[in-house]
Structure 1
């Protein structure tokens, strides 16, 4: 890709295009399949506290 570029500016454009984030999704967009609401988070914290208490003695 770099060898086919005519000059440094074209190389820079090629790199910018190569490393750009996917179109249609911003940097802070939600990740599909990874969702957690407050109730789920509270349940996980309770499970961790119970596990910590069990292992802690």
Structure 2
């Protein structure tokens, strides 16, 4: 970056651009205040959570040979 600059002023402009805080691109990006939403149907209800825990316990028991620690 510095090697491609023709003079000190261009080096300073390049550094200012590089270290400048991010711009808000029309409401997009981190500063927009908009939360990312999950697609519908990705939440677990209590029954789904219990089924997942049972699957994990079964897989853990299978991998550890039935030993629990």
Runs (5+) with no aligned partner, structure 1: 1-11, 22-26
| Alignment deviations for residues 33-57 of structure 1 (CA, whole Å, 9 cap, x no partner) | 3121010010000000001001101
The Cα RMSD (Å) is 2.5
Q: Please, which runs of 5 or more residues in structure 2 have no aligned partner?
A: 1-20
Per the normalisation by structure 1, the TM-score is 0.52
Aligned residues, how many? 39
Q: 1:48 to 1:40 in 2, by over 3 A?
A: same
Find the structure with the greater CA-based Rg.
Answer: 2
1:15 corresponding residue in structure 2: 24
User: Counterpart in 2 of 1:7?
Assistant: none
* TM-score under structure 2 length normalisation: 0.44
Higher relative contact order (CA 8 A, sep 6+): 1
